Amino acid sequence: MLLFLAPSVILLVLINAYPLAVAASQSVHKGSLIIGGSFVGLENYTDALTRPAFWNAARFTLVFTLAGVFGSWLVGLCLALLLRARVPAGGFFKVILILPWVVPIVVSSTAWNWLVATPDSPASRLAQSLGFGEPLFLADPKLAVITVCAFKIWHSFPFMFLMTSAALSSVDRNLYEAADIDGATRWQTFTRITLPMISRSTYISWILMTIFCVNDFPTIFLMTGGGPVNATTSLVVLAYRTVFQDFQTGPGVAIAFLMTITLVVTSTILYRQVRKAVTA
Amino acid sequence: MTTVGHRPPIATLASDAPSNRWMRPASRRTRDTRGQWGRFAAILIFTVLALIPIYVTLLLSVQPGTFSTSSSVLTLEHFADIFTNTDIVTWLGNSLGVTLTTVLISVIVAAPAGYVLSRARSRAVSAYSLLLFVIQSLPIITAVVPLFVLFAKLGLVDNLIGIIIVYLGSTMSVATWIMAAYFDSIPRALEESAWMDGCSVFGSFVRIVLRNSLPGVLSTAIFAFLLAWNDYLVALVFLKSSNVFTLPVGVQGFFLQNATDWGPVMAASVVMLLPPTIVFAVLNRYFSVGGIGGSLAGH
């Protein structure tokens, strides 16, 4: 039966493990994309860690990830709770609400750009008429961060909605009947029954979304290109630029690795939490 | 929660006795109906707002441009424009070819692997499951740089086969989990009876298990379709010339050149968003990401 795993293992070794090993070696060597250089030890790492751009990008990645994970989770959870009960045309909504996740980022980022990019865009005009002055959604560093996070939440909430809906549908209805009879309030039912019963799925959706957010490239790159003044440069965008625009392979790969290590540690901690939630 | 759980008799009574429905006070039923329309209104408002970027795309793609000669309200001139003046037909063909190949190979490789994950109970297999998880969390950028160097030597840069290989690497983990989650729901007794009848493990897998797993296979296929169709980073790094561009890089390049001419830009967007939307609209009932949770934490 282990033969069944063979194609998958071969692919994994060739496409995932081999490049990882090469990347590890690149990160401790000088040199460009094509020509290998001399061994420099951890110099690329110390180089990356002493760049202000690195810490700037790390801070933005953290903000972007927290906003992306919890923002999309809250929206997805509310929708899943609303649509769990009987709602007219519920089935239709369940399909159409997935669209933001299905539409390619290249397309949705263009539409968002049309909506917010210039002072003449509809969203900017709306904000002006509501008396918010002249907001530059993509040109003001702080607003650009908020806009990119909002775009990420908009793109990701359907995934959270699907995960949460699946989890909610597996909660035993009898528990709610029993809680009703015991006189539990709606809030008590939610915090004492619903949330604990779906906690496993919640942790998993957080882990996956953390991975999706940290590794996200197109959402940021297509909306702002990392600007204005690097306010929305995440670690992936920084690594991409360092390798493919500044042609500094070593430091670029070192940045990607530092990010990977943080991500693997974070998701392993969360993964253990899941196992605890399962056995508890 | 445990105190609640200890009262099954009452719960059963309440849910099983149909007479209870008629004994409900009338006020409660009207409250239910009102709640139903309240939820409907909330969801409707949210949906209308959330889908604004999508109507905008559709609307601008059929609205006549500023210098348009057509006098009607709706026009297909932008579509005619992009089909005659850009390589969009080539890009569309490339995207379809790359995506369908990725889908096919992903299913062929992930299905047997998922079967092992679902059925085997050995340490090696759970280690493999954890390995898939770690692989999934690696940023594609760490793999892209070494693969670029390797592919440059093998002539796979600026080549559609190259990006198919990278896509296969990125679909593998989730595709395997989705398949494993689905196989978990198929009773073992089915294969076991086939073995009794002298069927090989492989034979029973293909004829019994796989044949009953259409939703799982379609779920995996949709996932791989969306990933390959929507990818931007890999295509951006590996594809350099217009005749091998997939839609995301081709269309994005076209956007950058025509930043203010929104009609053709949105028409190209529509061409790009239709295939995944159609696939999802037709097959959505088979698509479930919820199962991933089970296969990730279940073993």
HSE value, Cβ hemisphere, 13 Å, CA-based, for A194: 19
- Nearest residue of chain B to residue A203 (CA atoms): B293
The predicted pLDDT at position A148 comes to 94
Using DSSP bridges, classify how beta strands A36-39 and A29-31 pair: parallel, antiparallel or unpaired.
antiparallel
Chain B CB contacts of A166 below 8 Å: 288-291, 293
Q: Name the residue among A4, A23, A165 with its Cβ closest to that of B142.
A: A23
The predicted pLDDT at position A100 comes to 93
> What is the model's pTM?
0.85
- Nearest-Cα distance to chain A for B194, in Å, is 16
Alpha carbon distance B116, B128 (integer Å): 10
Alpha carbon distance B59, A111 (integer Å): 11
CA torsion through residues A138, A144, A148, A151, sign: negative
- CB distance from A99 to chain B under 8 Å? yes
What is the tens place of the pLDDT at every residue in A56-97?
A: 999 999 999 999 999 999 999 999 999 988 888 888 888 899
Domains of chain B (ranges, CATH numbers): 78-297 (1.10.3720.10)
What is the tens place of the pLDDT at every residue in A191-217?
A: 888 888 888 888 888 888 998 899 899
Q: Name the residue among A12, A103, A259 with its Cβ closest to that of B172.
A: A12
Angle between helices B88-119 and B123-137 (to 10 degrees): 150
User: B 121-150 residues with CB below 8 A of A?
Assistant: 124-125, 128, 131-150
| Whole-complex ipTM | 0.83
Measured in whole angstroms, the distance separating CA A243 from the mean position of its chain's CA atoms is 22
Question: Mean pLDDT over residues B195-214, rounded?
Answer: 82
| Disruptive mutation site among A25, A107, A209, A245 for chain B (greatest number of B CBs within 10 Å) | A107
What is the tens place of the pLDDT at every residue in B88-118?
A: 999 999 999 999 999 999 999 999 998 888 8
Question: Residues B138, A267: contact at Cβ < 8 Å?
Answer: no
| Disruptive mutation site among A10, A12, A213 for chain B (greatest number of B CBs within 10 Å) | A12
- Nearest-Cα distance to chain B for A107, in Å, is 5
CB contact under 8 A, A104 and B272: yes
What is the tens place of the pLDDT at every residue in B234-272?
A: 999 999 888 999 999 998 888 888 767 888 888 999 999
Chain A CB contacts of B276 below 8 Å: 102-104
CB contact under 8 A, B109 and A7: yes
- Nearest-Cα distance to chain A for B251, in Å, is 8
What is the tens place of the pLDDT at every residue in A149-182?
A: 999 999 999 999 988 988 888 888 888 888 888 8
The predicted pLDDT at position B291 comes to 57
- CB distance from B42 to chain A under 8 Å? yes
- Nearest residue of chain B to residue A108 (CA atoms): B53
- CB distance from A265 to chain B under 8 Å? no
CB contact under 8 A, A11 and B5: no
What is the tens place of the pLDDT at every residue in A267-278?
A: 778 777 776 765
Assign 3-state DSSP to chain A and report helix, strand, coil percentages, each to 5. 75, 0, 20
Alpha carbon distance A68, A59 (integer Å): 14
- How would residue A35 be classed by pLDDT, with cut points 50, 70 and 90? low
The predicted pLDDT at position B66 comes to 64
Domains of chain A (ranges, CATH numbers): 51-279 (1.10.3720.10)
The predicted pLDDT at position B68 comes to 56
By C-alpha distance, which of B229, B216, B124 is closest to B167?
Answer: B229
Q: Tell me the three-class secondary structure of chain B, residue by residue.
A: CHHHHCCHHHHHHHHHCCHHHHHCCHHHHHHHHHHHHHHHHHHHHHHHHHCHHHHHHHHHHHCCCCCCCCCCCCCCHHHHHHHHHCCHHHHHHHHHHHHHHHHHHHHHHHHHHHHHHHHCCCHHHHHHHHHHHHHHHCCHHHHHHHHHHHHHHHCCCCCHHHHHHHHHHHHHHHHHHHHHHHHHCCCHHHHHHHHHCCCCHHHHHHHHHHHHCHHHHHHHHHHHHHHHHHCCHHHHHHCCCHHHCCHHHHHHHHHHHCCCCHHHHHHHHHHHHHHHHHHHHHHHHHCCCHHHHHHHHCC
User: A 27-66 residues with CB below 8 A of B?
Assistant: 33-34
By C-alpha distance, which of A265, A237, A258 is closest to A48?
Answer: A258
More confident residue, B220 or A29: B220
- Nearest-Cα distance to chain A for B9, in Å, is 10
CB contact under 8 A, A264 and B134: yes
Is the pLDDT reported for residue B160 higher than 70?
Answer: yes
Q: Partners of A223 in the beta sheet?
A: none
By C-alpha distance, which of A70, A251, A19, A105 is closest to B269?
Answer: A105
Q: Partners of A31 in the beta sheet?
A: A36
The predicted pLDDT at position A71 comes to 96
- CB distance from A244 to chain B under 8 Å? yes
